[in-house]
Chain A
Amino acid sequence: MAYVAIADRDHHLHDPQTFIEKYIWSQDHKVIAIQYGSVAIGVGLVALVLSLLMRLQIGFPDTFSFITPYNYYQFVTMHGMIMVIYLLTALFLGGFGNYLIPLMCGARDMVFPYMNMLSFWVYLVSVIVLLASFFVPGGPTGAGWTLYPPQTVLEGTPGSDWGIVLMLASLAIFIVAFTMGGLNYVTTVLQARCRGMTLMRMPLSVWGIFVATILGLLAFPALLVAAIMMLLDRLIGTSFFMPALMSLGDINGTEGGSPILFQHLFWFFGHPEVYIVALPAFGIVSDLLSTHARKNIFGYRMMVWAIVAIGALSFVVWAHHMYVSGMNPYFGFFFATTTLIIAIPTAIKVYNWVLTLWRGDIQINIPNLFAIGFIFTFVHGGLTGLFLGNVTVDLPLSDTYFVIGHFHMVMGVSPVMVLFGAIYHWFPKLTGKMPNELLGRIHFWMTFLGTYAIYLPMHYIGILGMPRRYYAYGTTDFIPESAHAVNEAITIAAIVVATAQVIFLINVFYSLRKGKTAPDNPWGATTLEWQTPQTPPVHGNWGPKLPVVYRWAYDYSVPGEAKDFIPQNEPPKGHSSLA
C-alpha cells in the first residue's frame, strides 16, 4: 500500500467532539478567526460611540453637560487606542490572518493550534482589562492614545491614578496575545504551505498579513518595554521618563528621566503599527480588485517587493511623528528623507491597483465597490502624508486638525473600507450565506461619501490652525464663525456614518438567518479558500487530501481558456495530477 502522510490520513481523531470544543475552547483557526473578529468589532463599536461623543462636543460645545473636559480627553484616548490596537490590529491579523492564512496556503490549520486558541483568550483578557478602566475610580486614562509622559502619570490628567495602570497592563497583555498569534502566522506561512505553493505563488493577502506580522513581532516589544517602564514610573516611583518637575505647584521628586525617550520607544512601535494595519489591507484589496476585475493583479512581483520594502522602511521613519517634539532637530533631515522615500513603493502599489482595473472586466458587487472606494480614500490619505512627512510642511500642520484628517483617511477609513470589502467578499465562505446586496450598497455609499464629508474639511480647518485635542475653542481670534459651523456639519456627517454601520450589522445578522445559500465559489476566485470541499469549510479544511498548487493566484481571463479563472489547484492541461 502506498505511503500516506499523516496529515493526509483519513481519520477524525482530532476533530472536536463537544459544543465547547467546537465553538468556545476551539483550536480551529476558522472559529478563532470569528471569535477574534467578533470581539474586535464589538469593542470597535464602543470606540465608534466614543467618537460620536467627541464629535457632539466639538460640533455643539456648551450643550451636553455630561461631556466635561475630563470625560472628553478620556473619550479621545480610548477611541484612539481601541481603534488602532484592539480593533484594526486584532481584526486584520487575529481575524483575517487566522482565517485566511491556513486556507489560502492550503494548510489544515495553524501549526500551533493550542497557542492560537490561547492567543484569542489572552486578547479577550486584554480587552476586558481595558474596558474595566471605565469602572475604576477616576475612570480611564485621558492622556491621549500616545500616552506621552510625564502628564500621563500626573494628577492633572484624567485617569492618572488607575486608568493608566489598566491601560498599560492591557497593552502588555495584548502584546502577549499578539506574540502567540503572530509566531503562529509566520511559522504557518513558512512551514505549512501545501505542495506547489511557493512563496511567489502566494496570494497578496497572505503576503500582506505575513509581512505585517513580522513587523508586529519586531515592533510590539518596543511598546512592551515602554509600557513596563511607565508602569514602574507610575507604581514604584522610578524616573525612566520623569525629569525633575513641579506638578500643580508641588515638587514631584522624580529626577533625570527623559520624556523624549518614551516618544522614541512609542513611535518605534507606533510607526510600524501603521503598516501592521496597512499591509494586510494592501494585500487583501489587491486580491479583491483582481478577483472582481477578472484580471490578474498588475505587477505581482513588484507588489510583493513593495510590501517587503515598505515593511523594512517602516522601521526607519518613526521620528517623523516627532519633528516638533524637541528632539535634536537635525534628525529632521534624515527622517524626512526616509519618509518621502517610502512614498515610492507605496505609489507603485496604487498605480498597480489602478492598472489592474485597466482593461479589466469590472464586476458590480459590494466587495468591489469597497475596494475601488479604498483606492480613492487611500490616494487622499497617502498624499496628505507627504505633507506631514516633509519636515518643513509639518511645522505649521503638526498638532492641528490636518493631522486628524490625514491619519483618519489613511489608517482609519482606508483600512476599514478594505475590512468591509473583505467581510462582504468572504462572508459566503465564512457563513455559507450571501450578504444582502441592497443593504450592502447603502452601507457602502453612506460610509464612502460620509467619511469624506467628515475628513476633507478637517484638513482645511487644520491648515487654518485649529489645534487638535481641544475640548472647546472659546473665542479665538483667528477662528471664524464658519469654522465652528463646519464642525457642526462634520458632526452630522459622523452621525450618518455611524448609522451606516448599524445597517452593516443588520445586514450581517439578516443575511446569516435569511441570506441566500452561497455556492462554493460565488465570485469565481482562483485562490484555495474557494476550492474547499465544503462551504463553510469544516475542521481540517480539505477533507482527506491536501490541495496541490500548480499556478499563481491570478490566472484570470487567461487567453484561450473558456472559463475566466483557473483555480490555483487546477493542474495544467495534459498534466497528470500530482496527488
Chain B
Amino acid sequence: MVALAVVLVLLVIGSLYFHFASPWYFTPLASNWSTIDFTVDVTFWVCGIVFVAVNLFTAYCVWKFRARKGNKAHYEPESTKLEVALTVFTTIGVAAMLTPGLFVWAEFVNVPENAREFEAIGKQWHWGFRLPGEDNVFGASDVRHQSVDNPLGVDPEDARGQDDIIIARPILHLPVDQPYKALLRSTDVLHNFTVPQFRVKMDLVPGMVTYQWFTPTVPGTYEILCEELCGAGHFAMRGKVVVDEPAAYQTWLANQPTFAETQSEPVGDAAAGAANYAVCSACHGPQGEGNQTLNAPKLAGLDGWYIRRQLLNYQQQLRGTAMGDTFGPQMAPMSQVVAAPAVRENVIAYIETLPSTQPTPTVTGDAERGRALYQTCSVCHGESGAGRWGTNAPRLAGMNDWYLERQLQYFKDGVRGSHPDDIYGDQMGLVANVLVADSAIKDVVAYINTLR
C-alpha cells in the first residue's frame, strides 16, 4: 500500500507537470471568444484544486491507515456535519464554474446587431459558401435545385438570390474585426463547422439552418475542419478561412461571381470548339484518346466540370508548378491557349462530344487485391468508376491506366494537390495514402481497368 500511496502522489505531481509543461494546448485565439478561454481557465482551476486535494488525501489515507499488526479501523457510520459541509463546498465550486458558463453561453446565443452573415454549405465531403450580395438578403435555396451548375442549390426563380455571391470552392475570405453570423446548411448528412482558432463550433443539419457567430480578430489563414462524423471521407473534408485586412477582402470579394453571373456563363459551342481543339489534339490525339509516348492522357469520357477545373488549376498555377512534377509544366502554358472563357467552354463542349473507347491496358497488377483497395475509391468515384460531380470525383473507368498510376503516385508523394489553394487535390492526397504497399497503386489501377 505504501507503493500505491507513492504512485498516487507521483501521478498528481506528474499530471500537474504535464499540464504546465505540455506543448499541446489551445491554439492562439483568433476571434473575440476570449471569454470561452476564461471559462475554461476557471474550470481548470476549480477542477485542478479538487483533483489535487482528493487524490493527495487518498494517498495520505492509503499510507497512514495501511494494515499493520494491532491496527483496528475506526467505527464511524456517518457524520452529518461533515457531509453537509462537503456538500456546501461542492455546490460553491459548481456554481463558480456554471455562472461564467451560462453568461458566456448567453453571449453565444445572442448574435450582435452589427453582425454580417455568410452561409456555409456542407456536403460529403466539401465546403461551399454564399454571401447575401448587395441587397444583404439571401435568396431561397433547396437541395432540389442543386446541380453541377448550381452546386449550392440557390432558387433560380428567387429575385433576392440573383446577387448572392457564390463561392463554390472551399476557401472563404472574411474581413478582420467584423462580427459574422455563420448560417450553416447541409445538403446531405450532419457536418460541423469548426475553426479551432475561433473556439466555437456548430453542427450542420440537413433540413434546417443552424448558426454560430464570431468576430475574426487576427488576419491569417485558418483551417476549417468538419467535426461531426459524415461518412467515409469525413477526415478529408477540409476548407479554409482567410481573414483579410478590409482592403484585401474587398479585392477578393470583387472577384467572386454573383449567382446570376454563374448562371450566365457562356455555353460552349462544340462546333466552334473543334477548331480550338486542334492545339490540344497534337498531344492528346484527334479523338482525345491520349498518347502515352507524349505523356498526354485521354480526355474523351471526362465530364466537362472536371476538365474545366483542371484547366483553371493549370491557368491559376495550382497545378503543374510543384517540385517533381515533370509533365505538369508542359501542360501549364498550353492551358493559357484556352484561357478565354468562351474558348475554354467551346473546347470543353467539343471534348464532351468525343467518343470514348476503352484503351489498351498497359499496367499489370493484381486486380483481385485492387478490388479490395478500390472500396475506398468507390465512395467518391462510384462503384463503376464513372465519377460523380456530387463528390467532385472524376471518371476513372476507361481512362489511361498509365496516367492513373502516375497521378496516384503524384498524389501520394505530394507532387499533385500540394498547392495550399488546391483543396480538392489535397483531399485526394490524404486519401491516396491508403495505398500503402508498393504494389498497391498497380493493383488498384489493374482493378480500375476491369471497370466498364
Q: Measuring CB to CB, which residues of chain A are less than 8 angstroms from any residue of chain B?
A: 61-65, 68-70, 73, 142-144, 148, 150-151, 154, 156-158, 243-251, 256-260, 293-296, 298-302, 324-326, 329-330, 332-333, 336-337, 340-341, 343-344, 347-348, 350-352, 354-355, 357-364, 369, 372-373, 375-376, 379-380, 383-384, 386-387, 390-393, 395-400, 449, 452, 456-457, 460-461, 463-465, 467-474, 476-478, 480, 482-483, 486, 554, 556-559, 564
Contacts and interface: CB of A to CB of B under 8 A. Distances in A.
B188 A247 contact: yes
B388 interface: yes
A357 B98 contact: no
A376 B59 CA distance: 10
B156 to A, nearest CB: 16
A260 B57 contact: no
Interface in B9-60: 11, 15, 18-19, 22-27, 33, 35-36, 39-40, 43, 46-47, 50-51, 54-55, 57-58
B91 interface: yes
B154 interface: no
A351 B205 contact: no
User: Which 5 A-B residue pairs are closest in the complex by CB-CB distance?
Assistant: A249-B390, A243-B207, A465-B196, A156-B231, A326-B210
B232 A142 contact: yes
B421 interface: no
A69 B237 CA distance: 13
Contacts of A399: 192, 194, 201, 227-228
A298 B124 contact: no
B199 A396 contact: yes
Interface in B275-328: none
Nearest to B200: A395
B189 A150 contact: yes
B37 to A, nearest CB: 8
Interface string B361-378: 000000000000101100
B241 to A, nearest CB: 12
Given A399-B201, A478-B223, A564-B72, A258 B78 contact: no
Contact of A359 (B55, B74, B90, B206): B74
A259 B203 CA distance: 11
Interface stretch (B161-169, B256-264, B423-431): B423-431
Nearest to B125: A156
7 contacts: A156-B189, A245-B143, A247-B189, A375-B55, A380-B51, A390-B39, A396-B199
Interface in B160-195: 184, 186-190, 192, 194
Contacts of A326: 184, 202-205, 208, 210
A360 B61 contact: yes
Given A357-B62, A396-B36, 19 more contacts: A69-B235, A150-B190, A151-B190, A151-B231, A154-B189, A156-B189, A157-B189, A244-B206, A249-B391, A296-B75, A336-B98, A341-B94, A357-B58, A375-B54, A384-B47, A464-B24, A470-B234, A471-B235, A482-B23
B247 interface: no
B101 A362 contact: no
A393 B143 contact: no
Contacts of B146: 246
B101 A301 contact: no
B342 interface: no
B1 interface: yes
Contacts of A384: 47
A392 B242 CA distance: 25
A472 B412 CA distance: 14
Given A144-B229, A360-B65, A460-B22, A396 B200 contact: yes
A372 B4 contact: yes
A393 B101 contact: yes
Contacts of B230: 151, 156
Contacts of A294: 67, 72-73
A464 B1 contact: no
Given A325-B205, A336-B101, A482-B24, A395 B227 contact: no
Contacts of B190: 148, 150-151, 259
Contacts of B340: none
A393 B379 CA distance: 35
A352 B376 CA distance: 52
Contact of A361 (B18, B67, B434): B67
A143 B72 contact: no
Nearest to A256: B207
Contacts of B192: 324, 399
A471 B430 CA distance: 10
A507 to B, nearest CB: 19
Interface in B392-449: 426, 429-431, 433-437, 440
B390 A559 contact: no
A396 B26 contact: yes
Contact of A354 (B57, B206, B440): B57
Interface stretch (B80-88, B127-135, B331-339): B80-88
Contact of A248 (B67, B194, B390): B390
A376 B1 contact: no
Contacts of B7: 449
Contact of A372 (B62, B98, B226, B388): B62
Contacts of A158: 232
B344 interface: no
B354 interface: no
Contact of A386 (B67, B97, B205, B233): B97
Contacts of A329: 105, 108-109
A395 B18 CA distance: 23
A376 B97 contact: no
B249 interface: no
Contact of B66 (A150, A362, A474): A362
A150 B204 CA distance: 12
Contacts of B26: 396, 463-465
Given A151-B229, A474-B430, A361 B203 contact: no
Contact of A243 (B65, B102, B206): B206
A350 B79 CA distance: 15
Nearest to B57: A354
B75 to A, nearest CB: 5
A360 B201 contact: no
A479 to B, nearest CB: 9
Contacts of A249: 388-391
Contact of A387 (B47, B55, B153, B440): B47
A393 B40 contact: yes
A530 B310 CA distance: 76
A452 B222 CA distance: 32
A458 to B, nearest CB: 10
A360 B78 contact: no
A461 B379 contact: no
Contact of A469 (B23, B58, B75, B234): B234
Contacts of B431: 69
Given A154-B231, A260-B205, A324-B202, A336 B40 contact: no
B71 interface: yes
A572 to B, nearest CB: 16
Contacts of A387: 40, 43, 47
B40 A396 contact: yes
B142 interface: yes
Given A69-B431, A259-B206, A245 B188 contact: yes
B429 A474 contact: yes
A300 B66 CA distance: 22
Contacts of A293: 65, 73
Given A69-B235, A392-B100, A302 B43 contact: no
Given A70-B375, A293-B65, A386 B123 contact: no
A325 B27 CA distance: 23
A170 to B, nearest CB: 20
A461 B207 CA distance: 33
A392 B194 contact: no
B357 to A, nearest CB: 26
B433 A392 contact: no
A383 B47 contact: yes
B24 A457 contact: yes
